[in-house]
Amino acid sequence: MVNDIKLTQESIDVWLFSYSQSNTLTVSIDDLNARMESVMGGYDSIIILGHSLGGIVAQESVYLADKQNMNFVDSVTDLVIMGAPNNGIESLKEFEAFFGTMIEARTLFRIFNIESNSILDLENHLGTPRVDHVEYNVVAGTETFVFEIGPATIRTDELIGLSGNNDGLLSTKDARTIGGEEITAKCENYWELDLTHTELDESFKARQLVGNIITRRLGIENTDLGGVRYIKVFIPSCETGDQVAISAVPFTGKLSAEEACLQSVRAPSCSDGIMNREERSIDCGGSCGLCKTDYIFIFILILAIIFFLYVSGREVAHLIAEHYGNDCSKIDHLEKELKHIEDEIGKI
């Protein structure tokens, strides 16, 4: 996401906070709040993003800052919480007992070290109350972890007894329960992605969604943030100075329901392919400029005005000619004036 913001050159400042799970949650939260209070004074809008345990730290940070009347909290508009263990971590102990020595599981235990002070604190975690003025956005995964052990296939959700949709470590219900209440407005403040717990932190799809949430909440229009896709190109052999050309064509197919949900969170713009705001048609009308039908209407209106002026001018000239009878000099003068008017209409 940091690279996306750099690439699109958006006027967004990104601050990263790292913490050690060896610290207690209280130490990490106090450290985060002290740093936020010292550097966030000049910001009007602050969005805090937290994945997994970081989602708990983010929620506790804002809640305690609000209770302590810290200055920065008034500027916090949104929290984006991805796969946070809001209802505890009891099931993870069974997971560690079975998979703790497996190479495939080491990535998971970078996120959850069962013996760390932070995780031990979560055993007594009963959820964090919400802060009234903050908008809570939740992203949950729905793909479990699958491990191959010889001829056997093990699913983590079956091993630790997760029912319903889950990301392999947490159920979607746990992930979307904030302050004791579930967030369920899909495509508005709750999204489910077909990703595992760890993929929520690293996949393009999750990054795209977060970018879209940020642009909508900050009111940023006509941006590529949230749509940057990185590709890897294998080149069998190359030398310094070689050039590589990559071509592509615009996607014109129909979006899947999930893709449409991801796109719907983007801030309305004049290039989103959707008729929204005050637009009269897709991406035109109102502040987005004239539509093609507008140009046709204007062209027809101009022709009608020209025709009206022409017919009216001829009729006036005829009536004047009848009034003056055979006064040829005056008629010649009027005909010249009429010709002048027609020439001016022609220029229009």
**List of long-range contacts for 41-46, beta carbons under 8 Å, 24+ apart:** 41/71, 41/72, 43/13, 43/72, 43/75, 44/75, 45/75, 45/77, 45/217, 45/218, 46/72, 46/75, 46/76, 46/77
CA dist 12 and 187 (Å) reads: 24
Looking at residue 235, what is its pLDDT?
79
Dihedral (CA of 38, 39, 45, 48) sign: negative
* Residue 34, helix vs strand vs coil: helix
Looking at residue 57, what is its pLDDT?
93
Looking at residue 111, what is its pLDDT?
53
Looking at residue 33, what is its pLDDT?
95
Chain length of the chain: 348
**List of long-range contacts for 259-264, beta carbons under 8 Å, 24+ apart:** 261/186, 261/187, 261/191, 262/191, 262/205, 262/208, 262/209, 262/212, 263/212, 264/187
Contact 78, 135 (CB under 8 A): yes
Contact 76, 53 (CB under 8 A): no
Looking at residue 183, what is its pLDDT?
93
Fold entry, domain 2-239+254-277: Rossmann fold (3.40.50)
Q: Please report, in tens digits, the pLDDT of each residue of the chain (348 residues total).
A: 777 777 777 788 889 998 887 888 889 999 999 999 999 888 999 999 999 889 999 999 999 999 999 999 999 999 999 999 888 765 555 555 555 544 445 455 555 566 677 776 777 777 899 999 999 999 999 998 887 777 878 787 887 777 889 998 889 999 999 998 999 898 889 999 999 988 998 888 888 888 888 888 887 766 667 666 667 777 778 888 888 787 777 666 666 677 777 666 665 666 666 676 667 777 777 777 778 777 788 888 888 888 888 777 777 666 666 665 555 555 566 667 767 777 766 666
Q: What is the pTM of this model?
A: 0.68
Phi, psi of 45 (to 5 degrees): -130, 125
